Amino acid sequence: MIDVPAFTARLDGSDRLIEADARFAALNERAGGAVGRPLAAPPLAALGRLARRLGIPVARAVTIADADQDLDCWVHASPAAEDVVLAISLIRERPAWQPSPFSGTVPPPPDGDWTWEVDAHLRIQQLLIAAGVCHGVDPVTALGQPLTKLLSLQSNPDGVVPLLEAVASLDDFSNQPAVLNGSGAQVMLAGHVRLDRGGGFGGFVGAAYHHKLSTLPDPRIGGLFNHRLDTILRRPLGQIVANADSINAGVDGDIDSQYADYAADIASAGRHLMGLIDDLSDIEAIEREDFTVEDEGIDLADVTRRAAGLLSVRAANAGVTIDRGDLDSAMPAHGEFRRTLQIMVNLIGNAVRYSPRDAIVWLRLQRDSDRVYAIVADQGKGIALDDQERIFAKFERVDPGEPGGSGLGLYIARRLAHAMGGDLTVDSAPGEGARFVLSLPAA
């Protein structure tokens, strides 16, 4: 297991690893690389080439395959003359994909009518059908054919096609309604994602379950913001941001500085809208009556370190110092890792955003009886007493005219804290900065 918050490496103009700390060197060696040779992790090499070509720092989420586990990382690539410096923060470790246990001699699982495997192009590589449920499907002739030739994918009640969404997010899926093209029979699909050696999409291993037509509700648009709208909006916004960044960087040649600034403004506005989509998706989830969080037994100190690492570049660019204090001692707590990290990133990000240049943001941890606390204190302009409860309401901000977020971050953060049995409070006064405190049940 690789320690956090970050490990570093330097690549030359030919993607050769010329310098690395011990942690990164060990990871690279496990992948078959060595200092002086081309980098062994293809996603990192690709990100380094992009930063070198654009001539600007580039940051991306990257998955690195490491032996029997996959490492979800946040990678920051900074060009330096002909070299590129990589700073990698580890977000999550998860078991690597393992080959499917199904073969021609192994029957489908008892709760699935048939099992299937597809490659990265969704071509059928294996199809095993239980006796009596073939519905005109011939496993032999189906091999090598696109999955969509065998069946037609349908939207679920939220207007989402779960399989296609899983391809985009590199995730597992379930409850994918479909209709067999030959017989018109209704089926429900579920699948486990497979990743290739570079961390990209490699296909699915899945099962199918037969359903009656009456069990499949009609697609509909419902709620404040659903997955279908999320998908529809996110793709064009991503293209807008990428193209605007390319124009601003002069990828296709020098342009007038005024137009480069326009492109930078377009990219900034696009990122703001992407953040709003994330917030609306979270609201759709947390306001459902059946919303729950997992109790994973987290280390609040570890989560706080990771959140600070993710925001270190933003803080440096803003001229703000993040004082991490003593975050080395474990602080066990009840809560869900991903949601707690989301809260801490929001709190530290707000502190950096509203702090003046040369200011300090302090991160501290405390324990009191059966509660643990993560404290984020800044040197901003502070919050008046009358506004301290209002800022936790939906779409509320202290100064709506000031550049910043959508007014949803603190609302979501407090709802998440409550869902984990904790709370989120603020202590502040005008001109004296703000002190946000996340409390969770101690473990």
pLDDT in tens, 65-80: 776 677 778 888 898 8
Of the listed ranges 153-162, 222-231, 340-349, 417-426, the one predicted with least confidence: 222-231
**Residue 183 pLDDT > 80:** no
Averaged pLDDT, 6-15: 85
Backbone dihedral region for residue 75 (phi beyond 0: left; psi -120 to 50: alpha; all else: beta): beta
Per-residue three-class SS string for 100-128: CCCCCCCCCCCCCCEEEEECCCCEEEEEE
**Residue 430 pLDDT > 90:** no
Of the listed ranges 214-218, 249-253, 292-296, 299-303, the one predicted with least confidence: 214-218
DSSP annotation of 433 reads -
How far is residue 272's CA from residue 404's CA, in Å, rounded to a whole number? 9
DSSP annotation string for 341-352: HHHHHHHHHHHH
Residue 155 backbone dihedrals phi, psi, to 5 degrees:
-75, 150
Return all residues near 353 (Cβ < 8 A) that are at least 6 apart. Answer: 318, 404, 405
Q: How far is CA 33 from CA 18, 23, 181, 261, 440, in A?
A: 11, 13, 48, 41, 43
Return all residues near 399 (Cβ < 8 A) that are at least 6 apart. Answer: none
- Residue 111 has a pLDDT of 45
SS3 state of residue 56 = coil
DSSP annotation of 386 reads G
pTM of full prediction above 0.75: no
402 — pLDDT class (breaks 50, 70, 90):
low
How far is residue 293's CA from residue 337's CA, in Å, rounded to a whole number? 10
**Strand arrangement of the beta sheet that strand 69-80 belongs to:** 17-20, 7-11, 83-95, 69-80, 58-66
Amino acid at the residue 192: H
How far is residue 299's CA from residue 333's CA, in Å, rounded to a whole number? 6
What value does the mean pLDDT of the chain take? 79
Closest CA to 251 of 42, 50, 45: 50
Distance from the Cα of residue 317 to its chain's centroid: 23
Residue 232 backbone dihedrals phi, psi, to 5 degrees:
-60, -40
**Residue 62 pLDDT > 70:** yes
How far is residue 388's CA from residue 430's CA, in Å, rounded to a whole number? 11
Give the position of tokens 């395959």: 65
220 — pLDDT class (breaks 50, 70, 90):
very low
| Helix H or strand E segment including 163 | helix 162-169
**What residues are paired with 172 via a beta bridge?**
none
Q: How far is CA 34 from CA 59, 271, 443, in A?
A: 24, 37, 42
Class of domain 7-95: alpha beta
Of the listed ranges 88-92, 129-133, 379-383, the one predicted with least confidence: 129-133
Of the listed ranges 81-85, 97-101, 163-167, 252-256, the one predicted with least confidence: 97-101
Residue 426 backbone dihedrals phi, psi, to 5 degrees:
-135, 145
Return all residues near 59 (Cβ < 8 A) that are at least 6 apart. Answer: 74, 75, 76, 77, 313
Closest CA to 384 of 347, 434, 420: 434
224 — pLDDT class (breaks 50, 70, 90):
very low
Contact by Cβ (8 Å): 181, 154: no
CATH 3.30.450.20 fits 114-215, yes or no: yes
Q: 289-293 contacts: CB < 8 A, separation 24 or more?
A: 291/419, 292/419, 293/335, 293/336, 293/339, 293/416, 293/419, 293/420
- Residue 186 has a pLDDT of 81
pLDDT per position as a tens digit, 120-154: 888 888 877 654 445 567 777 778 888 888 888 88
Q: How far is CA 371 from CA 296, 365, 442, in A?
A: 16, 11, 5
SS3 state of residue 300 = helix
**Residue 53 pLDDT > 70:** yes
Q: How far is CA 402 from CA 269, 398, 405, in A?
A: 15, 9, 9
CATH 3.30.565.10 fits 298-441, yes or no: yes
Q: How far is CA 273 from CA 169, 230, 235, 238, in A?
A: 19, 11, 12, 10
